[in-house]
Homo-oligomer: A and B are copies of this chain.
Amino acid sequence: MPDTGMFTTAPMSNIFSPRAHVQRMLDFEAALARAEAAAGVIPPEAAEAIAAACRADLYVVDALYAQAVEAGTPAIPLVRMLTRQVAEPGGAFVHYGGTSQDAIDTALMLQMRDGLALLDADLLDICEACARLAEQHRDTLMPGRTLLQQALPITFGLKAARWLALMCRQVEALRACRDRSLALQFGGAAGTLAALGDSGMHVAELLAQDLDLPLPDLPWHAERDRVANLACALGVTAGAVSKVAGDIVLLAQTEVGEATEASAPGKGGSSALPQKRNPVDSMLALAASRLALGHVPVVLSAMQQEHERAAGAWQVEWEAIPNLFCYTAAAVSPLRSAVQGLQPNPERMRQNLDVSHGLLMSEALMMALAARVGRPEAQSIVQSAGERAVKENRALRDVALADEQILAHLSPEDIERALDPAHYLGSTGAFIDRALEAYRALSSGGEA
């Protein structure tokens, strides 16, 4: 696809570049030759000659893919070029007993392993930034909002702690998926390793070891749950990114003003409007996130693969998986910038708590009353006080302090206390601590 670089990152594009793809297929061919030599299937000199020729810079990548369109697979021209490159008699042992799909699927697995490592690092950076926000703003009061209506006070630390927990879970999920779903592909033309006679399993074991990929029980040419699992894990991560990025965009609204992205020259301005400060990183993260998760159903619906190798459904992955990794990286990466540079505005947060007559504290008042008169009656009393506050454009506090029904059960001090947001935070601190603790356990585990 035409690539402007706006919806990928350079490191991820490198992992999935055509040249890197060729190199990864060559890595498979080299490892196959070594494994077969070790198993006594092909001569050691042939393996050496093959391995020496398995360098992508020896080949014209564009020509290879042009031929791939004809052949229907890049592995055929690759094997042809590689064979030509290897001095006889080694050429006869190139790709020995393997099939196109062995090379292509294993290359994809190697690329995905690298891609997951990149995402892991970026996600941990996001976690670290969220953890810092959660600690620093543990007690920074702000409105909690449900259905975009102010509901109850929370702290910005709690919001950051929930972002943190979400992102930690993505790190864990991607690692679990990596451990469960990466696997060698090696089965030969119809998944029997027929050309290797009795040596198939032995070569497979050596090959898996060489490439440091798990050896599956048997080939999986047309059973794509492994790839689909990885695609889903990325899709969920992209979705998780969209939650945090979406919150930032909402916090940055002119009328809310509770957080802004870091500014920099050339960043987030408008072509027409000098005053604007657009949440550009979150915006790009949201766009890339949508592109990423849009590829998940493409991979899932391509799981209906015919017999021992599919005609069309498998080939979809060649494009969909690289896209998915690049788009996910393009979602994670600007979110990292957005969170790392985020500038919360505690003053606006505090001001916003007083918007709409202090009605945000209705529940607190209601609960205080409910302890005396039961919830239904308390709810009715407070609702009518709230309605009066709105109608008469007064603060709920003033209405409550003058309300006979309320004063019958609560003292003015009770009312003041009930209406103080800082006293109505429940388990906020405990929740933040739990999220931070889980993060520390995760991050002290180091690169998993």
Contacts and interface: CB of A to CB of B under 8 A. Distances in A.
17 contacts: A2-B18, A2-B21, A70-B266, A72-B280, A73-B271, A92-B375, A144-B308, A146-B278, A148-B307, A154-B308, A159-B308, A192-B428, A194-B363, A232-B235, A249-B312, A253-B256, A294-B301
A200 interface: yes
A5 B294 contact: no
A239 B232 CA distance: 12
A344 interface: no
Given A3-B3, A276-B151, A218 B434 contact: yes
Given A173-B229, A235-B297, 16 more contacts: A4-B21, A70-B280, A72-B267, A146-B308, A147-B310, A148-B250, A154-B191, A165-B223, A198-B426, A239-B303, A240-B303, A257-B356, A274-B362, A290-B301, A290-B313, A296-B300
B278 A290 contact: no
Contact of A306 (B163, B247, B278, B364): B247
Nearest to A91: B376
Interface in A204-252: 204, 216-225, 228-229, 232-233, 235-236, 238-240, 242-243, 245-247, 249-250, 252
A76 B253 CA distance: 21
Nearest to A432: B218
Nearest to A239: B303
A140 to B, nearest CB: 14
A370 interface: yes
A383 to B, nearest CB: 4
Copies of chain A in the complex: 4
Interface in A365-391: 366-367, 370, 373-377, 379, 382-383, 386
Given A188-B272, A311-B279, A326 B225 contact: no
Contacts of A99: 146, 270-272
A112 interface: no
A-B pairs with the 7 shortest C-beta distances?
A286-B312, A92-B374, A144-B190, A239-B303, A146-B309, A72-B280, A232-B232
A355 B272 contact: no
A216 B291 CA distance: 28
A430 interface: yes
A74 to B, nearest CB: 7
A201 B198 CA distance: 61
A379 B318 CA distance: 28
Interface string A64-80: 01111111111111010
Interface stretch (A6-14, A119-127, A405-413): A6-14
